[in-house]
Amino acid sequence: MRFSLFTAATAALAGSAAAVDHLVVVGNGSLTFEPANLTAAEGDTVTFKFWPKSHSVAQAAFASPCTPLQNGFWSGFIPSEKGPATETFMINITNASQPLWYYCSRGNHCQDGMVGVINAPATGQRTLKAFTEAAANATNNTSPATTAGAGGMLMNGTSMNGTSDNTGAASFMSASNSALFTVVVAMVASFML
């Protein structure tokens, strides 16, 4: 009885794992997103941080690299003179089964390989390599016509709820997880009496 109660509570806690804010380094000395191939769980966030001189991140369909996806995310161009820009762009991962393909729309950066993916398909032809090769053939590199920040959040310095992303992947527990954690701790404590 005690054991099953404890197991159930622990499983509930594990099921709602703490959200992670993943960092993607944009254009730090090369035309790259680092990591270009990222896996993120539902409820996680991804923060893009921009190095000189000016880059962007725009969502594309796998079949149309260097072309904005309708209703896709768009950071706008984020300039920096030296080191990372203070302004960052963060997106929410609301469906981890949905691959998010993206590119930089500055100059020919997309054609030159400045592309990436979040939650790429585990199998099949839709690989980051195939996307990069198709991007190299694109005639145009087009910026979305939407407002900068569309589909995400532009921020200065800190990530959501003040969580710093300066050192990379910062994790935080949501309010509901904290509450559940408290319940589990209370239950464990009561079993020990």
Ligand X SMILES: *[C@@H]1O[C@H](CO)[C@@H](O)[C@H](O)[C@H]1NC(C)=O
- Mark residues 113-132: x for contact with ligand X by CB under 6 A, - for none: ----x--x------xx----
Contact status: 92 vs ligand X (CB under 6 A):
yes
Contact status: 137 vs ligand X (CB under 6 A):
yes
User: What does the alpha-carbon distance between residue 146 and residue 131 come to, in Å, rounded to a whole number?
Assistant: 23
Order of all β-strands in the sheet with 100-103 = 37-38, 115-118, 100-103, 58-60
Token pair of 116 as six digits: 């990436």
Residue 22 contact, options Cu ion, ligand X, none, Cβ 5-8 Å cut-off depending on partner type: none
Contact status: 133 vs ligand X (CB under 6 A):
yes
Chain residues 149-188 in contact with ligand X, contact rule CB under 6 A: 151-156, 160-161
Does residue 136 contact residue 142 with C-beta atoms inside 8 Å?
A: no
| Closest distance of CB 10 from ligand X, Å | 24
- Cα angle 28, 33, 38 (rounded to 5 degrees) comes to 135
**Residue entry with tokens 């904290």:** 178
Contact status: 25 vs ligand X (CB under 6 A):
yes
Does residue 119 contact residue 94 with C-beta atoms inside 8 Å?
A: no
- Interface contacts to Cu ion, rule CB under 5 A: 55, 104, 106, 109, 114
- Interface contacts to ligand X, rule CB under 6 A: 25, 28-29, 37, 87, 92, 95, 97-98, 117, 120, 127-128, 133-134, 137, 139-140, 151-156, 160-161
